[in-house]
Chains A and B, each alone.
Chain A
Amino acid sequence: MKGTVEMMVLGVLADADRHGLEIFDEISRRSDGILNVAEGSLYPALKRMESQGLISSEWRASRNNRRARYYRLSEAGRRQFLNKERVWTEFAAAVGKVVGGGASNPSAPGGPFEGVLPCAS
Chain B
Amino acid sequence: MRLLNWLGLANRDLQNEVDEEFAFHLSERAKQLRAGGMDSISADRAAREAFGDLARYRAEALLALSAAHLRRRAWTLGALSSAAACILGLVAGAAALSHRDGLVVNGLREDVARLQGELAPFRGQGAVPLAQQVRFVTVRGAVCNPRVWTVPSDVDLTLRAMITKSGGLTPTARGEVTLTSNGRATPSSKVLTMSQWLDPDRAEIPVPGFVTIDVR
Residues of A whose CB lies within 8 Å of any CB of B are 19-21, 38-41, 43-44, 46-48, 50-51, 62, 66-69
Interface string of B29-43 (1 = CB under 8 A from A): 100000000000000
Asked if residues B64 and A39 are in contact (CB atoms below 8 Å), the reply is no
A44-B60, A67-B20, A69-B17 known; A39-B25 Cβ under 8 A: yes
Q: 19 extra interchain contacts, Cβ-Cβ under 8 A, other than A48-B64, A62-B24, A62-B28? A: A20-B25, A38-B53, A39-B25, A39-B50, A40-B53, A41-B52, A43-B61, A44-B61, A46-B61, A47-B61, A47-B68, A50-B68, A51-B64, A51-B67, A51-B68, A66-B28, A68-B24, A69-B17, A69-B20
Shortest Cβ distance from residue A61 to the other chain B in the assembled complex, whole angstroms: 12
Question: Any chain A CB within 8 A of the CB of B22?
Answer: yes
Within 8 A of A (CB), among B41-98: 50-54, 56-57, 60-65, 67-68, 71
Asked if residues B71 and A21 are in contact (CB atoms below 8 Å), the reply is no
Nearest opposing residue in chain B for A53, CB measure: B68
Quick one: which of A21, A39, A44 contacts B24, CB cutoff 8 A?
Answer: A21
Asked if residues A21 and B65 are in contact (CB atoms below 8 Å), the reply is no
Quick one: which of B24, B57, B71 contacts A66, CB cutoff 8 A?
Answer: B24
Quick one: which of B20, B28, B52, B63 contacts A40, CB cutoff 8 A?
Answer: B52
A sample of 9 inter-chain contacts (CB < 8 A) reads A21-B25, A40-B51, A41-B52, A43-B60, A48-B64, A51-B64, A62-B28, A68-B21, A69-B20
Classify the interface of chain B: helix, strand, loop or mixed: helix
Asked if residues A39 and B52 are in contact (CB atoms below 8 Å), the reply is yes
Interface residues on B, range: 20 to 34
- The interface residues of chain A lying within 8 Å CB-to-CB of B62 are 47
Asked if residues A51 and B57 are in contact (CB atoms below 8 Å), the reply is no
Complex Cα spacing A50 to B68, Å = 8
Nearest opposing residue in chain A for B63, CB measure: A44
- The interface residues of chain B lying within 8 Å CB-to-CB of A66 are 24, 28
Nearest opposing residue in chain B for A36, CB measure: B50
Residues of B whose CB lies within 8 Å of any CB of A are 17-18, 20-22, 24-25, 28-29, 50-54, 56-57, 60-65, 67-68, 71
Asked if residues B68 and A38 are in contact (CB atoms below 8 Å), the reply is no
Asked if residues B57 and A41 are in contact (CB atoms below 8 Å), the reply is yes
Asked if residues B52 and A43 are in contact (CB atoms below 8 Å), the reply is no
Nearest opposing residue in chain B for A42, CB measure: B57
Shortest Cβ distance from residue A9 to the other chain B in the assembled complex, whole angstroms: 13
- The interface residues of chain B lying within 8 Å CB-to-CB of A21 are 24-25, 28-29
Complex Cα spacing A24 to B205, Å = 55
Shortest Cβ distance from residue A32 to the other chain B in the assembled complex, whole angstroms: 17
Complex Cα spacing A68 to B21, Å = 7
Complex Cα spacing A19 to B25, Å = 9
Nearest opposing residue in chain A for B51, CB measure: A40
Asked if residues B29 and A39 are in contact (CB atoms below 8 Å), the reply is yes
Complex Cα spacing A13 to B62, Å = 22
- The interface residues of chain A lying within 8 Å CB-to-CB of B71 are 51
Complex Cα spacing A44 to B59, Å = 8
Asked if residues A67 and B50 are in contact (CB atoms below 8 Å), the reply is no
